[in-house]
Structure 1
Amino acid sequence: MTEHIPTPEEVLLVGEIVAAFGIRGQLKVRSLTDNVAHLRRKIKTVYVGPKLKPYQIKEVFEHKPGLLVFTFEGIATRTDAEGLRGSEVFILESQAVPLAKDEYFIHDLYGMQVLLEGGELLGTVREVLQTGANDVLVVQREQQPEALIPIIHEVIVEMDPAQKRMVIRLIPGLLGD
């Protein structure tokens, strides 16, 4: 029985393979998830690289904060592991930890329409910057410079990833006008 290869729309990026670890095919992965325990307990298969090749997880542990070590079925040598260096690691989005009310997946924000409280279209989310304090939306506007919109409660009035739209409240100086 061959395993189903998911489409890019069905997966969620959880890390990037940065190096081999040891001589037995283990992989050092820069983690993009806060839910390492969920990954360790609930996820049996990850999908690697642009072709989303499935790998069964034999073991995963946190080596250092933000750095995981994976052991995959079929990857038994350092040379095998080095061949995957630079590849992204995905899980099925349907297997991710359910989001809380005010949480979102960053990829859901791309292409989202940004409206002002009065209903006027400000623009479309082109990029999301992760600054550490809070995420910042880069909004492409018609015939105007891009706008940087912080994702904070004082600015975001409503966010509906399913409808690909959000409503924001302008605060003084936000658009530099």
Structure 2
Amino acid sequence: MSVLADPREELVTIAAIRRPRGLRGEVVATSLSDYPERFAPGVPVWLRPPRGTARAAVIERAWFHKGNVILKFVGLDHINAVESLAGHQVCVPLSARVIPPPDEFFQDDLIGCRVELESGEVVGTVVDVAPYGGGTLVVERIHPDGRRQECLVPFVRAICTSVDVVAKWIRISPPEGLLD
């Protein structure tokens, strides 16, 4: 079992606990990770409530069932021990996050990126990623007159030609009319 990072480090949510399952301390959670190995036995996690302080836990076992992940944590062996976990997030430190393959990005890394044209002209900032067509950037534009406008930019290579999530920018080559 590895040691958890300092709880003050930024946490990344990998699952959301929905409810207890059975009497032996298992919970039903929605997986927010594309990497099932995040739920391997012995993986240390933080259980973060909607309000309050996160607490450390270790995954004892996990399996996928009907689109959910069933989790059992070490030492939480009865329904009474997990009833209060509904609504908690299962988190790992940002430093323990899986590194995605080249040309794949986490949605939360795209949010906050400056969007600019190939010419360098700033279009706006990514405020969300919508699930349309595999991923669409919701870009907030602020016009010179102060008017705000949201526009949708498909997150595809033909349009989003360069992405640097570390420097927080996305360069686009939009087809005519996309930003109107």
TM class by shorter chain equals 0.7 to 0.9
- 2:130 is paired with a residue whose SS is strand
Question: Partner residue of 2:152?
Answer: 148
Over 6 Å off, 4+ runs: none
For structure 1, which runs of at least 5 residues remain unmatched after alignment?
none
Contact between 2:41 and 2:59, CA under 8 Å: does it hold in 1? no
Partner of 1:39: 38
1:65-120 deviation per Cα after TM superposition (whole angstroms, max 9, x unaligned):
3x111111232221221200011111233333321110111111121110011110
Partner SS, residue 34 of structure 1: coil
Aligned to 2:29: 29
Amino acid at match of 1:54: A
Count of residues in Structure 1 that have an aligned counterpart in Structure 2: 171
Q: 1:141 to 1:63 in 2, by over 3 A?
A: same
Give me the identity figure in percent.
30
Q: What is the TM-score normalised by the length of structure 2?
A: 0.86
Contact 1:5 1:53 in 2 (8 A): no
CA 1:122–1:15: 2 relative to 1, 3 Å:
same
Structure 2 unaligned spans of 5+? none
SS across alignment from 1:153: coil
User: Pick from 157, 169, 174: which aligns with 2:178?
Assistant: 174
Rounded Cα–Cα distance in structure 2 between residues aligned with 1:70 and 1:55? 11
CA pair 8-106 structure 1, distance change in 2 beyond 3 A: farther
Question: Aligned partners of 2:153 and 2:4: how far apart in 1?
Answer: 41
Alignment correspondent of 1:48: 47
Q: Cα–Cα, structure 1 residues 103 and 42, in superposed 2: closer, same or farther, change >3 Å?
A: farther
38-47 vs 25-34, greater mean Cα deviation: 38-47
Q: Which residue of 1 aligns with 2:136?
A: 136
Q: What letter corresponds to residue 48 of structure 1 in structure 2?
A: L
TM-score by length of 1: 0.87
